[in-house]
Structure 1
């Protein structure tokens, strides 16, 4: 999962190609935002969890669209960039610019260095540089919710059973739990379904969250299962990466093989 916080550059598909180069000190005088597409879905309000697709550039005073060197994009990533509006550590200009958008909306943000990375420099972002973001809001949901643990087999496997001590090889997708979604699947935060390799772990070995371990145990190869779990069996009060603390989770699992 990518991170895009006030202490450094973003994740996703990084690139320094595309767009013209810019003077390190180029910095707009103030924050501004322009809606290129008005969304019609849920409004993103402070404390909501949001998912976005983005590209961003160094600010260039001389470029017609003010887009200088391209720094990063997650447009081809399997998952959106997910963060909680108003949380400490957010890039302030991105937080400010996404608040008030509606799902489906697209917005261009011009962010001064004071609302970006400030005087902190990185390999791709000089100190005191302004930024330009193109943002699309894909997801909005309320803060963490706490479901009960449960499993539903969507396909019953016919192969070897996954038991404690065996190595399970799986394809999975992970979603934040949402009580208002018809299938309770909120924002997609992780998946390996497009990867050429499976995720492997030892059942009962302590290498994965408890709900994942518990939910896969008893599956048979070829089976597909949906696991719903409370935060106590997931990432607890601290969360993990883009997953807020106290978040319920839903995993969809396909058991590929057992060793």
Structure 2
């Protein structure tokens, strides 16, 4: 599912959940609005196969609810776990699917990290539902394509929403003293708004810093976990913000193995529910490479709220 990951500056469940069991819908149907036919595996939870699309693909996003679940309605900020199979409109072989891996893909509604067509398709749908979705290039990979997906391709997905989780808005736990004058200070507000980050006028650390600001009480994050976080990142040199999930209006979900070393090493072992100060020197971030608004050889400072793990 890395192919569906959107470009983030960070290349990037101790909660009430809606389990997939009784949430699953009891019926399945072929799409009625011209989407490719499902030729096998038509029921929720079964790996489907798709026919080629016929004629010109839809110019706009099309979403067909093949079977409606009985679970919670997904809204912005919720985390969904989705089994999927993806195919280009005029193709007859999938370019990716999660059914063979036996592991649904986690996505936060409204939080980025996947193509826009996925975000729009899942918003407002019920856990336990099976969808068939046609996504135009403008909501997928546009003129650039991606891997086996050619430029200007319309994508077709069958998507099973197997689980939904309502995430907390903030870290919650015990505040930890920030008494090192050589390190940034991070705000301790727990109202869901972005905390302040104050960078001292001091030389940047040359080694990774990973300190609790608020220590939660959840399990320790493991290296192979997928995490849902709220984060804010600023440059050490001037304190200027370069990225934030708060500005997107929703948390971000990603595998810890797929981010910069400063994150993967800095968050491993930290407890769910915590707010963590990360200071990543260049060799733990982007090194000699500039990355969007991040200049080459930058030391990066993050506040990260670990909201959940899968």
What TM-score bracket applies, with the shorter chain setting the length?
A: 0.5 to 0.7
Per the TM alignment, residue 173 of structure 1 is displaced from its structure 2 partner at its CA by 5.7
Aligned residue among 46, 68, 72 for 1:38: 68
Q: What secondary structure is seen at the aligned counterpart in 1 of 2:152?
A: coil
2:161 counterpart of 1:139: no
Residue in 1 aligned with 2:274?
230
Aligned residue among 194, 199, 208 for 2:265: 208
Distance 1:133 1:46 in 2: 21
Q: What secondary structure is seen at the aligned counterpart in 2 of 1:150?
A: coil
Residue in 1 aligned with 2:198?
none
The 1:3–1:231 alpha-carbon spacing in structure 2 relative to 1, beyond 3 Å, is: farther
TM-score calculated relative to the size of structure 2: 0.45
Matches for 1:185-204 after TM superposition, within 5 Å? none
Distance 2:223 2:111 in 1: 31
Per the TM alignment, residue 93 of structure 1 is displaced from its structure 2 partner at its CA by 1.4
Distance 2:93 2:138 in 1: 19
The 1:32–1:249 alpha-carbon spacing in structure 2 relative to 1, beyond 3 Å, is: closer
Is contact 1:211–1:234 with CA below 8 Å preserved after alignment? no
Aligned residue among 115, 124, 127 for 1:103: 127
Per the TM alignment, residue 133 of structure 1 is displaced from its structure 2 partner at its CA by 0.6
The 1:19–1:49 alpha-carbon spacing in structure 2 relative to 1, beyond 3 Å, is: closer
Residue in 1 aligned with 2:217?
150
The structure, 1 or 2, with the larger RCO (C-alpha pairs under 8 Å, 6+ apart) is: 1
Is contact 1:27–1:128 with CA below 8 Å preserved after alignment? no
Matches for 1:49-128 after TM superposition, within 5 Å? 49-60=79-90, 68-77=92-101, 79-88=103-112, 90-128=114-152
The number of equivalent residue pairs is 175
Residue in 2 aligned with 1:248?
307
2:58 counterpart of 1:28: yes
Question: Could you give the per-residue CA deviations for residues 65-98 of structure 1, whole angstroms, max 9, x where no partner exists?
Answer: xx63311011243543222222346412111111
Q: What secondary structure is seen at the aligned counterpart in 2 of 1:94?
A: helix
Is contact 1:79–1:191 with CA below 8 Å preserved after alignment? no
Per the TM alignment, residue 143 of structure 1 is displaced from its structure 2 partner at its CA by 5.2
Q: What secondary structure is seen at the aligned counterpart in 2 of 1:208?
A: helix
The 1:190–1:92 alpha-carbon spacing in structure 2 relative to 1, beyond 3 Å, is: closer
Distance 1:172 1:141 in 2: 22
Is contact 2:112–2:119 with CA below 8 Å preserved after alignment? no
Q: What secondary structure is seen at the aligned counterpart in 1 of 2:305?
A: coil
Question: Could you give the per-residue CA deviations for residues 42-74 of structure 1, whole angstroms, max 9, x where no partner exists?
Answer: 1111232222111110012xxxxxx63311011
